[in-house]
Amino acid sequence: MKLSQTSLSLRARLYLFSMAILTLFVVNVATHLWGSFARSESLVAYRDAAVAAQLVNDLQQGLESARQQTLVLATLRETTDEPLGDAERETATAELDTLRQRLGKLGALGGESTEDYYRRLFDSGSQLLDEWQAFYNNYNRLSSQSSVESPIQYNDTWQKLNELEQRQEALAIERSRTIDGTITLTDQITVIGFITTIAVTMLLVILLIRSTNSSLLRLKTGVQRFGSGDLSYRIDENRDAGEIQDLARTFNDMSGKLSTAIEEVNSSKADADAANAAKSMFLANVSHELRTPLNAIIGYSEMLQDELGDPGEVNREQVQHDLGTIIISGRQLLGLINEILDLSKIETGKMQINLESFQPAAHILQVCDALSPLLSQHKNTLELNLVGAEGHTMHSDPGKLQQIVTNLFSNACKFTDNGTIVVAAEISQDQLTLTVTDDGIGMTVEQQGRVFDTFVQAEATTGTKYGGTGLGLSIVKDFCAMLGGEISLTSTPDAGSCFTVTLPTIGPASNPEAA
Amino acid sequence: MTTNMSRHLLLVEDNEVNREMLQRRLQRVGYTLDCAADGQEALDKMRDVKPALVLLDINLPVKDGWTVAKEARSDSDIQDIPIIALTAHAMESDRQQALASGCRDYATKPIDFPELVIKIENLLTA
């Protein structure tokens, strides 16, 4: 397929096709015109030949008749001496003029190839006619001697005339032969050209259809493959040129953009699905965490109601203990709800930072005092070391600092029995360093890696053993980040844990979206 | 003290507060109880005591409730003891998982006590 290999544009193919057909058409018309010209040439040649033959014939007859007349008159003059009348002489002169005119006409018909013959005829004929004219002019002058009876000049003219006629005849035959050959040739060229035109046109049509068809087929294949989900399929742009190449290129561009868009949509969908799954997980966890204290609250309340309805003494001590359990569970529930609200605010970026100047040592002390009842639950003692922070002022969010201390302190109390909790704080180089250390159950390295995740405790069973939701440390970590600081952890199983919080004394200038 | 084994239950619950509460309420309506605080203890007591029914919390240390239910089903000695799962997980998928792992019924925390008693009675008289 020559056309498709040279990869012409569709327009170029159509132009080429049209030009080829037009050229063939022009060739056909030219050969036809050539043939027509040859035919008209042939007609002219035949007509000229016929006219010449007629003139030669007339001239022969005229010469013969004038010769007879001069011979008769010459005989009469010798025998009768009768003079020639003026009228008769004029008639004879007119006849001679006619002969002269015919001789001239014959000259006008001849071309270069008969010029020599004509010149000889004209010279001889003119001499003969001059002799005859002289004969008539001198007829009445008896003294004059006439030579008209001599046939020499007449025969010479006659011979020259015959030579010219033969020459013309030969030329006419030769010319007609040439013209006939030309006509045959042009006829053949016309027929061959016509057949060739049909063949070449059909060949071009087939080539055009096949090359265009294969181009369109490539486009169609591309559209089908892409449409059926093969997003990486591209059309070979270099197999075509011009409009079809442009179309292929445009299609490839479109395919590229579409597959990028589809990938983006898929990726967004995966992200949305993951976010949705996380949300469902969060809801399930929240539901689970709320139900656990509610179970105790509802269960103990119903039980007390039932037991108070029983006959007999009321065990006041038992009732007081049960009510205490209900109150603790209720507070646990409240704390849980607050933590969930905090977490929700952090996650939606609505947690505000309230910056103010305050003395961190005083706030830390206040929290430890408020939480001192927790110490006695597990028989722990508190060691406070706030000397390094006393007298210093920082500009940050005191509420969040208190929440951080509360969560770390209550965690330490929860996971330590008969131990010592050390809360220490110091300020140096515009940075508050707060450590909460216990000598409780501690954590393995693997557990340390996940305690800051939402709803995750060191062990899945920690909650059932020690209570809590797994939100406290997650919130601490988020608060630290919001205040421009960070939290780190060192821990050894069965030896205790140490949480270290570092916060800049000058908090974030603006209220950043929670990360 | 004589124990009517047809009304003797095993309560498996690791949360002390909830365990004591349920124990007292069930004793008050006439059941006798053994208690277990983790999964392994639960299986041991099922084999030793052969209770008439087991109330099984799912969030358990050592072995979780699903594992306990599956192991109980594959042990021919105790596979016929009906188990009621107790969990604070309230999703439909949790209920299906409970039934699939061999529990005969399912109760969501906070426990609706009268309904729990009906479920226990249904299984004991079946």
CB-based contact, B117 to chain A, within 8 Å = no
User: Which of A368, A352, A371, A348 is closest to A360 using CA atoms?
Assistant: A368
Total domains present in chain B? 1
Q: What is the pLDDT of residue A467?
A: 54
Residue of A nearest to B92 (CA): A284
User: Which of A269, A250, A259 is closest to A227 using CA atoms?
Assistant: A259
| Minimal Cβ distance to B110: which of A291, A460, A461 | A291
Query: In angstroms, what CA-CA distances link B115 with A25, A292, B95, B109, B110?
Result: 104, 18, 16, 12, 12
CB-based contact, B24 to chain A, within 8 Å = yes
Q: Which domain holds residue B32?
A: 5-125
Please tell me the distance in Å from B45's CA to the nearest CA on chain A.
Answer: 21
State pLDDT tens for residues A274-315.
878 777 777 777 787 888 889 999 999 999 998 888 888 888
In this prediction, residues A500-515 reach a mean pLDDT of 72
Please tell me the distance in Å from A232's CA to the nearest CA on chain B.
Answer: 40
State pLDDT tens for residues B14-66.
888 889 999 999 999 999 999 998 899 999 999 999 999 999 998 887 788 88
CB-based contact, B113 to chain A, within 8 Å = yes
Phi and psi (nearest 5°) for A501? -110, 130
Query: In angstroms, what CA-CA distances link A316 with A403, A422, B22?
Result: 37, 38, 20
DSSP A181-192: HHHHHHHHHHHH
State pLDDT tens for residues B69-95.
999 999 888 889 999 999 887 777 778
Instruction: Look up the ipTM and state it.
Output: 0.87
CB-based contact, A285 to chain B, within 8 Å = no
More reliable by pLDDT, B115 or A292 = B115
| Half-sphere CA count of A410, side-chain side, radius 13 A | 20
For A358, the 3-state DSSP assignment is: strand
Burial, A357: exposed, middle or buried (Cβ in 10 Å; 0-12, 13-18, 19+)?
exposed
| CA–CA dist A39, A53 (Å, integer) | 21
**Average pLDDT taken over every residue of chain A:** 83
DSSP state of B82: -
Cβ–Cβ below 8 Å for A288 and B18 = no
State both tokens at B24.
């007292």
CATH number at residue B109: 3.40.50.2300
State both tokens at A390.
């006393």
State both tokens at A35.
């043939």
CB-based contact, A291 to chain B, within 8 Å = yes
| CA–CA dist A172, A175 (Å, integer) | 5
DSSP state of A469: -
Residues in chain B, how many? Answer: 126
CB-based contact, A304 to chain B, within 8 Å = no
The answer for residues whose C-beta is within 8 angstroms of residue A412's C-beta and 6 or more apart is: A380, A421, A436, A437, A438, A440, A497
